A and B are shown apart, each in its own frame.
Chain A
């Protein structure tokens, strides 16, 4: 418990740092949010008025201080363009993103881990080489290319799944698989090397010397040991994963916070960008904490303090 409490305090500090860096970056950005709001035709006077209204004429630290003060009360501010509370916007879109995240992580683990285990067991043979070539392709393929390719083949040509949108399980399949394919490359490579190392371990030799069958040696003795570094990876990976979600949500028209962020960035809607950044950062921190909490369940040697 003490451990979780300490980790949560650390997380709050990390979020504070993230908010500050994002705030400064948005401040020094050459794009002017007021211009976006006022429109091209607005007079210099209107622009100044809006600027004053939003408090954007104040020095950086005053602005940041105000933001923090509001944040402390759970207020993420109002969107410049949509005229709604940012918290509301994010909350309404969070379920969709969480759904996609869960499905995406599930897909990338199933794909990545099974590819990695299979490659390790076939080490050095043709199957191993094929799998590792595949993983290389998926690691280097751009997100939008994979998205569009799957969309074209399975939605447009074959018509198995809807082209875009949200609601049913069928809608979820293509975006989740896209995310899964994109992430599986890393996981399969990690799982392969981890598994190869574990299969060389003395205790695997002991297990074989006991006369255990191959399946039991691989799944009961090798897998739990090999999966440990991969679990730590999942926590770190959520950050990269969020980047992927922005693209995938846009391509598939998935109404999640990735899409929201994408639109907000184009219109320099600072409160939304800040809000989405903080929520993502929170997800990453939480993911890492969860990964650290799961590890001792698998490996009794890990003790948290």
Chain B
């Protein structure tokens, strides 16, 4: 089975053996006050025609720097290529002049970036941005550029391409913008396309569509792709060959099947082991008490949009619609869904940060629907851990003070008590108590998230709301933080509301799951029910869309046009149709 696989992938990928791009001994360094520090060291690889080469690695591995070096877009003057060569055909890009590079960029090498939301100029229309890319390299008229722009938008399967030409980026969704970026990059049929985390910022179903699109376009145009990603699932689906990087150096280079089935290096093995996989859990859930620490009953959150002469409410954003669920003592309840589905708004309503209708009960107390005035005693029972640990910690406070601050606010214990408790909590989250007087910037991202968790634990809450708390972390760090959360839960009996867009992470940590779409819950049940037997079409689509970190995995392909997402904005007095959840057996609720 295995050898057959390899020859199969080899046969499809290397009809032409001459490399399009060859990188030799590439070293990129940053100038610091202590001299040159290498960001990428002695990197060599070749890229063949029509091939997809994945460069995988965690943050700081130098994978993005490599792509910028190829494009000649390294941030001057501090970062530059200090050794080695990058050859595109006969041209050495490291010695090419800026004028030469300008002719190559966009024409022979094109690039798409991670953030579709910020990668297009907000003040220029889609049509202008597409046309200028072509006119920068080919002497064609405006009309000609426009008709070719239209063709390019049609090729990336964007709905209503004619209309898109005159739209501005903010009128398009993230997935549509990324298609525009792809259209722009491929319009001039470059020999090499560098895709730097092209789907990382996208929802999983959109990611699926964009990956399918990239693969189809590559097959049609024969473009060689360098795919830079941290997601081993995406690597498994897209790549022919893989380079694994760590701290600026290549760890391993292998065909994709070999890499996944027989990784040669310990680092690669660890990396693959840390990747969360769906359906990887076989344990039976521990018995959970029926005692609810929080319960939501028919909760609705709407944000008014005011307009007119008197500033009356004319429209409502229906962020959360008729949501009901319980979180039981000591369990992990996960809310999963794509961006804008209302999962974070629920978290905000539960701590009284936004007003709501319906009833939210936390620890036996009913929250005031106006929000913002949750009594302190109630706030003690619920704590939050946010997505970005860099932004969630005051950079001017020592971590000991940060962790002890909730105790100070609630006037608990003496200064010495609080310090002792902070030291204890630091130890509990796997850091050393002698780090208590350091500042947040002295810690890594994963360590900072541990500090946030310690701070959330300081008041011994019944419930911790973790809103995308591991999404910004590298997989190996993510795996350790998830293990820590489970360990703490066992020890302290705290319940988690775990909010995430990542299906594999949710599958690995949750006891019960609610799937949200456009403000409503479409399916809810135990992890085994929702992941093992998804009934709602949206849940099925979500699960189906997740890239599987196994190159042998086969999936059916469905081609969908990217169009407008249904809007949660409705005029006053109207709203989305209310979904009714039915029990399909054993407490497994599905919207009919």
Contact = CB atoms under 8 A, between A and B. Distances in A.
B105 A300 contact: no
A300 B170 contact: yes
A203 B119 contact: yes
Contacts of B102: 211-213
B106 A2 contact: no
Given A2-B308, A211-B102, A205 B73 contact: yes
Given A225-B123, A300-B122, A202 B113 contact: yes
Contacts of B184: 206, 210
A211 B119 contact: no
B115 interface: yes
Interface in B544-584: none
B64 to A, nearest CB: 11
Contacts of B306: 305
A54 to B, nearest CB: 40
A301 B167 CA distance: 11
A299 B181 contact: no
B102 to A, nearest CB: 5
Given A203-B122, A298-B123, A216 B73 contact: no
Given A211-B106, A301-B168, A206 B119 contact: yes
A203 B104 CA distance: 19
A2 B309 CA distance: 6
B137 A211 contact: yes
Contacts of B136: 210-213, 216
A244 B303 CA distance: 45
B123 A224 contact: yes
A211 B105 contact: yes
A206 B122 contact: no
Contacts of B132: 210, 212, 216, 220
Nearest to B68: A205
Contacts of B211: none
B77 to A, nearest CB: 9
B518 interface: no
B444 interface: no
Given A6-B309, A305-B307, A209 B111 contact: yes
A220 B132 CA distance: 11
Interface centre among B113, B123, B184, B309 (most CB of A within 10 A): B123
Contact of B103 (A5, A201, A211): A211
A118 B293 CA distance: 60
Interface in B238-260: none
Contact of A209 (B71, B122, B307, B309): B71
Contacts of A207: 121
B339 interface: no
Interface in A194-225: 201-203, 205-213, 216, 220-221, 224-225
A201 B113 CA distance: 12
Nearest to B194: A209
Contacts of B309: 2, 5-6
A211 B105 CA distance: 5
A4 to B, nearest CB: 11
Nearest to B116: A202
A201 B122 CA distance: 11
A208 B110 CA distance: 10
A210 B120 CA distance: 12
Contact of B110 (A5, A209, A221, A225): A209
Contacts of A209: 71, 73, 105-106, 110-111, 113
Contacts of A301: 122, 168, 170
Interface centre among A6, A202, A211, A212 (most CB of B within 10 A): A211
Contacts of B107: 211
B123 A208 contact: no
Contacts of A211: 102-107, 133, 136-137
B118 interface: yes
A254 B302 CA distance: 58
Interface centre among B107, B115, B132 (most CB of A within 10 A): B132
Contacts of B122: 203, 225, 299-301
B592 interface: no
A221 B124 contact: yes
A298 B73 CA distance: 28
Contacts of B103: 211
Nearest to A300: B168
A203 B132 CA distance: 14
A228 to B, nearest CB: 9
Contacts of A201: 118
Contacts of A203: 118-122
A198 to B, nearest CB: 10
B124 to A, nearest CB: 7
Contacts of B110: 209-210
A1 B73 CA distance: 46
Contacts of B123: 224-225, 298-300
A206 B196 CA distance: 12
A301 B309 CA distance: 21
A210 B105 contact: yes
Interface string A148-175: 0000000000000000000000000000
B121 A208 contact: no
A206 B181 contact: yes
Contact of B105 (A208, A216, A225): A208
Nearest to A301: B170
B133 A202 contact: no
A201 B169 CA distance: 15
Contacts of B106: 209-212
Interface in B40-85: 71, 73
B492 to A, nearest CB: 42
A205 B113 contact: yes
Contact of A225 (B121, B137, B307): B121
Contacts of A213: 102, 136
Contact of B121 (A2, A6, A206, A305): A206
A208 B102 CA distance: 8
Contacts of A299: 122-123
Interface in A219-274: 220-221, 224-225
Contacts of B111: 209
B135 to A, nearest CB: 9
29 contacts: A6-B309, A201-B118, A202-B115, A202-B118, A202-B119, A203-B118, A203-B122, A206-B119, A206-B120, A206-B184, A207-B121, A208-B73, A209-B71, A209-B105, A209-B111, A209-B113, A210-B106, A210-B133, A210-B184, A211-B107, A212-B132, A212-B133, A216-B136, A221-B121, A224-B123, A298-B123, A300-B122, A300-B168, A305-B307
Those 4 A-B pairs whose CB atoms lie nearest each other, nearest first:
A211-B106, A211-B105, A210-B106, A202-B118
Given A212-B133, A220-B124, 10 more contacts: A203-B118, A205-B73, A205-B113, A206-B184, A207-B121, A210-B105, A211-B103, A211-B133, A300-B170, A301-B168
Interface of A: 2, 5-6, 201-203, 205-213, 216, 220-221, 224-225, 298-301, 305
Interface of B: 71, 73, 102-107, 110-111, 113, 115, 118-124, 132-133, 136-137, 168, 170, 181, 184, 306-309, 311
